[in-house]
Amino acid sequence: MLRRANQWLLPHMPPGMFVTCLFLVLDPANGGLQLANAGQYLPYRLTADGPAALRARGMPLGLMPDMEYEALSTSLNPGEALLLHSDGLMEAHDAGGQMFGEPRLRQLPCAAT
């Protein structure tokens, strides 16, 4: 799907613009999870051992022709959760001007349970 979306967007994107996207399919019956990433921040599986990044590589959509997108197949086990987030969280700044960023994300109480 991401490859097709990329090919469709190429002739329609203004110069210097692109689209980030995370394509995810979850089977709630068995926890099966498939995902592909087109330049979006990494999602995390929240486990009893802490957060685990779900890495699937891919360039943002609309930048380059004939891009291939890596697919990841895994599963969510009972009691685990999935953290999906955007640049709005990662690039938010506090009153002192410091960006929230991944190190702070990994320290959140919800990401440590």
What are the pLDDT tens digits along the chain (113 aa)?
999 999 999 999 999 999 999 999 999 999 999 999 999 989 999 888 878 899 999 999 999 999 999 999 999 999 899 989 887 777 888 898 888 877 777 776 654 44
Q: Hey, what CATH class is 2-84 in?
A: alpha beta
pLDDT given for residue 92 in this prediction: 85
User: How are the residues of the chain apportioned to helix, strand and coil, as percentages rounded to the nearest 5?
Assistant: 20, 30, 45
pLDDT of residue 110: 59
